[in-house]
């Protein structure tokens, strides 16, 4: 295959290439449907034939594996949908793929269970780590996530942006994209001049090194308290920030040490979560790159003056003006984000740029994208997206820095591991290396809970829900993976040819359907920038397998049937581990 060609293991159909695999039956069912239409209605226009997207998944498996609603053909054929469904069901002639049944205005397709089982398991084994993924999509995605502030501790409010961005990076990479993960540091502004002023008055490197980011925060709080009594301190803070802007060696060295200290503190959390970045270029990096933005806006007659400030008027687009330069000459977030977008396009040549930032910044990104579009960059409309998410609360209480109601992320993760360890010691006292398993389970519970529902929904984090081994949780899904590993460890060596007929019962078919739909979930997650699609699909596999585990015997005296069931167990273990990996959760071998 030529270099750069797209091999998508989710979409290839029978016989297209030697490496082709079939992860679900959608392609073949579509082919059967199209042939039935042409057989039943020979004058049907070819351009009107339905594609794979026309097939629906019935809410109940008793209604079929796929369903085709005939209502869309009614106008073309001038027939009632039930009559069309009856004609199509009678015209279907592909028993090796599926049988058809007309129900009202729908044609319900029931897979050939034997072939479906064989093809699904073969596709998973053939694709291996690439199941549901692609090799070399030839595209680049730039993801801006986490974006912590210098001299501030990493708290629970940073959780969503961090784990959503990390998961999307893995999902895009799985689908063949080159990815660039960016931690756009909040490292510019007058507050850092205040921080240096406070440090010079009341701090020392010994104190800061010993107290870490908490010591910097305490200095910053003291500065504001003292400034209420002594307003001249604000001038001192502005003076130090001016020195940073002018490149004063002392100011830059002090500020750099503050940044290093913050990143060292944050790296502990990133290491626990397994989160990585390719760039830490933050606001300060773009300070000398904003001139291009201002010059271009001026050259293209997009800048106007408003009360001494320079703005881009967006009234025509029902938005307030985008502030570019304040009346005192200072630039803003929007200016730096515009500069960052241009620099990233020039240097990374991205096909998609994602900003994983809370929904409160909706207007900000709408303005930035529109300004770029007005500057003559059409990619701003097609390739840039704000991946918004909801708020996080903790056991019914909203987070508030002013009220002191803040949960720091390292403390949350430590507590999660401790609680998981208590449960493991109670339920599995003989488990080897319980601390490592507790770390996988505790941290996984936090991440899984965060990525379980649509990202725009608010999250209320409760321990008893997150660490439940029986609900829709990370521990439940991880335990299913460990259960599969346990079954495989107990199984004897079995060289028999698998009897796939052992997998035609309802419970096994439900597992196979869940496995076969996993690639669709991965594609949906990338298309909607919605990791919960993968979380839910992985959870569905776990639920289907646990029902199968309790309803069907896996290990028995029939070597051929046992081998087939073990192949199913291996497939479940493999895909659950893959699904957990894509959302940033580890898969324990024992729990």
Per-residue model confidence as pLDDT tens digits over 121-148: 999 999 999 999 988 889 999 999 999 9
* Same domain assignment for residues 235 and 372: no
* Same domain assignment for residues 445 and 562: yes
* Same domain assignment for residues 54 and 155: no
* Same domain assignment for residues 444 and 550: yes
- Given a contact cutoff of 8 angstroms between Cβ atoms, the answer to whether 147 and 262 are in contact is no
What is the rounded distance in angstroms from the CA atom of residue 119 to the CA atom of residue 27?
13
Is 124 inside a domain boundary?
no
Question: What is the per-residue pLDDT across 205-225, written as a single tens digit (0 to 9) for each?
Answer: 999 889 888 898 889 889 989
Is 458 inside a domain boundary?
no
* Same domain assignment for residues 259 and 361: no
pLDDT grade for 399, boundaries at 50, 70 and 90: low
Structural element, H or E, at residue 305:
strand 303-306
The arithmetic mean of pLDDT across residues 529-552, rounded, is: 98
pLDDT grade for 400, boundaries at 50, 70 and 90: low
What is the extent of the structural domain holding 241?
189-276
Burial string for 135-146 (b: 16+ CB within 10 Å, else e) reads eebebbbbbbbb
Known catalytic residues are 152, 155, 158
Among 273-277, 392-396, 487-491, the least confident range: 392-396
Largest CA distance in the chain: 89
- The pLDDT value given to residue 245: 81
For residue 507, give the CATH number of its domain. 1.10.730.10
Q: Could you tell me which of 187, 197, 243 has the C-alpha nearest to residue 220?
A: 197
* Same domain assignment for residues 260 and 382: no
In terms of Cβ atoms closer than 10 Å to its own Cβ (0-12, 13-18, 19+), residue 271 is: exposed
Is 143 inside a domain boundary?
no
* Same domain assignment for residues 295 and 156: yes
* Residue 564 CA to its chain's centroid (Å): 33
pLDDT grade for 298, boundaries at 50, 70 and 90: very high
Q: How far is CA 124 from CA 133, 329, 348, in A?
A: 11, 59, 33
What is the rounded distance in angstroms from the CA atom of residue 189 to the CA atom of residue 176?
38
Residue 15 has pLDDT above 60, yes or no: no
Among 33-37, 152-156, 251-255, 561-565, the least confident range: 152-156
pLDDT grade for 21, boundaries at 50, 70 and 90: very low
pLDDT grade for 188, boundaries at 50, 70 and 90: confident
Q: Which two tokens stand for residue 300?
A: 């293209």
pLDDT grade for 397, boundaries at 50, 70 and 90: low
Residue 13 has pLDDT above 70, yes or no: no
* Same domain assignment for residues 172 and 224: no
Structural element, H or E, at residue 77:
helix 74-77
- Given a contact cutoff of 8 angstroms between Cβ atoms, the answer to whether 111 and 25 are in contact is yes
Q: Which two tokens stand for residue 373?
A: 């579009």
What is the rounded distance in angstroms from the CA atom of residue 214 to the CA atom of residue 218?
6
Beta bridge partners of 387: 356
Q: Is the dihedral of CA 44, 46, 48, 54 positive or negative?
A: positive
Question: What is the per-residue pLDDT across 421-459, written as a single tens digit (0 to 9) for each?
Answer: 999 999 899 999 999 999 999 999 999 999 999 999 888
Is 543 inside a domain boundary?
yes
Is 412 inside a domain boundary?
no
Q: Indicate the residue among 57, 91, 116 that finishes a domain.
A: 116
For residue 47, give the CATH number of its domain. 3.30.1360.70
Pick the residue with more confidence: 5 or 79?
79
Among 345-354, 406-415, 556-565, the least confident range: 406-415
- The pLDDT value given to residue 157: 83
Is 590 inside a domain boundary?
no
What mean pLDDT value characterizes the chain?
90
* Same domain assignment for residues 449 and 320: no
Domain count, the chain: 4
- The pLDDT value given to residue 146: 96
Question: What is the per-residue pLDDT across 326-363, written as a single tens digit (0 to 9) for each?
Answer: 887 777 889 999 999 999 999 999 999 999 999 999 99
Strands of 368-471, DSSP E: 384-387, 392-394, 397-398, 459-461
Among 11-15, 75-79, 89-93, 277-281, the least confident range: 11-15
Q: Could you tell me which of 586, 380, 388 has the C-alpha nearest to residue 482?
A: 586
Q: Indicate the residue among 276, 309, 341 that finishes a domain.
A: 276
Is 132 inside a domain boundary?
no
* Same domain assignment for residues 292 and 393: yes
Query: What is the three-class DSSP state of 107?
Result: strand
Residue 14 has pLDDT above 90, yes or no: no
Is 145 inside a domain boundary?
no
Strands of 449-526, DSSP E: 459-461
For residue 303, give the CATH number of its domain. 3.40.50.620
* Same domain assignment for residues 177 and 200: no
* Same domain assignment for residues 234 and 350: no
- The pLDDT value given to residue 9: 44
- The pLDDT value given to residue 405: 58
Q: Indicate the residue among 276, 301, 331 that finishes a domain.
A: 276
Q: Which two tokens stand for residue 246?
A: 């002018």
The arithmetic mean of pLDDT across residues 525-533, rounded, is: 98
Sheet holding 397-398, edge to edge: 397-398, 392-394, 459-461
Pick the residue with more confidence: 510 or 469?
510
pLDDT grade for 16, boundaries at 50, 70 and 90: very low
pLDDT grade for 467, boundaries at 50, 70 and 90: confident
Pick the residue with more confidence: 42 or 392?
42
Kindly tell me the number of DSSP H helices and DSSP E strands found in the chain: 20, 15
């Amino acid at each position: 295959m030529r270099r750069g060609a797209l091999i998508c293991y989710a979409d290839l159909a029978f016989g297209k290439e030697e490496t082709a695999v079939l992860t679900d039956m959608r392609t073949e069912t579509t082919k059967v449907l199209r042939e039935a239409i042409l057989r039943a209605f020979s004058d049907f226009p070819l351009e009107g034939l339905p594609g794979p997207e026309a097939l629906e998944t019935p809410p109940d498996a008793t209604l079929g594996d796929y369903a085709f609603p005939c209502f869309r053909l009614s106008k073309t054929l001038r027939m009632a949908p039930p009559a069309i469904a009856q004609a199509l069901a009678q015209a279907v002639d592909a028993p090796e793929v599926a049988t058809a049944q007309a129900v009202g205005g729908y044609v319900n397709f029931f897979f050939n269970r034997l072939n479906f089982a064989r093809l699904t398991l073969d596709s998973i084994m053939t694709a291996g780590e690439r199941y549901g993924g692609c090799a070399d999509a030839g595209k680049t995605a730039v993801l801006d996530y986490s974006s912590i502030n210098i001299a501030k501790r990493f708290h629970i409010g940073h959780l969503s942006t961090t784990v959503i961005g990390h998961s999307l990076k893995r999902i895009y990479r799985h689908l063949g994209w080159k990815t660039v993960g960016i931690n756009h540091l909040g490292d510019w502004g007058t507050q850092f001049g205040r921080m240096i002023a406070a440090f010079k008055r009341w701090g020392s490197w010994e104190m800061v090194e010993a107290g870490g980011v908490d010591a910097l925060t305490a200095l910053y709080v003291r500065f504001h308290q003292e400034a209420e009594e002594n307003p001249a301190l604000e001038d001192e803070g502005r003076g130090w920030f001016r020195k940073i802007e002018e490149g004063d060696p002392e100011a830059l060295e002090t500020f750099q040490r503050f940044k290093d200290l913050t990143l060292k503190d944050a790296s502990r959390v990133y290491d626990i979560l397994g989160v990585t970045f390719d760039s830490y270029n933050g606001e300060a990096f773009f300070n000398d790159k904003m001139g291009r933005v201002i010059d271009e806006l001026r050259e293209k007659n997009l800048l106007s003056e408003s009360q001494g400030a320079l703005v881009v008027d967006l009234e025509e687009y029902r938005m307030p003006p985008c502030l570019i330069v304040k009346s005192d000459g200072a630039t803003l977030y929007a200016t730096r984000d515009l500069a960052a977008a241009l620099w990233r396009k020039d240097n990374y040549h991205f096909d998609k740029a994602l900003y994983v930032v809370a929904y409160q910044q909706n207007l900000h990104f709408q303005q930035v994208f529109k300004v770029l579009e007005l500057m003559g960059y059409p990619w701003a409309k097609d390739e840039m997206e704000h991946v918004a998410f909801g708020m996080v609360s903790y056991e019914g209480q909203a987070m508030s820095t002013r009220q002191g109601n803040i949960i720091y992320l390292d403390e949350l993760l430590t507590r999660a591991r401790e609680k998981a360890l208590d449960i493991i010691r109670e339920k599995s006292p003989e488990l080897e290396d319980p601390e490592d398993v507790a770390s996988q389970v505790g941290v996984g519970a936090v991440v899984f809970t965060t990525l379980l529902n649509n990202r725009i929904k608010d999250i209320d984090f409760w321990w008893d829900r997150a660490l439940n081994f029986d609900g829709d949780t990370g521990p439940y899904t991880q335990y299913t993976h460990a259960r599969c590993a346990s079954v495989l460890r107990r199984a004897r060596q079995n060289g028999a040819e698998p009897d796939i007929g052992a997998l035609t019962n309802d419970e096994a078919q439900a597992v196979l359907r869940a496995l076969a739909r996993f690639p669709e979930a991965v594609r949906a997650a990338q298309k909607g920038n919605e990791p919960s699609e993968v979380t839910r699909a992985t959870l569905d596999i776990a639920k289907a397998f646990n029902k199968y585990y309790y309803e069907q015997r896996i290990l028995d005296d029939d070597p051929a049937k046992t081998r087939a069931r073990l192949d199913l167990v291996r497939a479940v273990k493999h895909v659950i581990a893959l699904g957990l990996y894509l959302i940033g959760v580890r898969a324990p071998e024992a729990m």
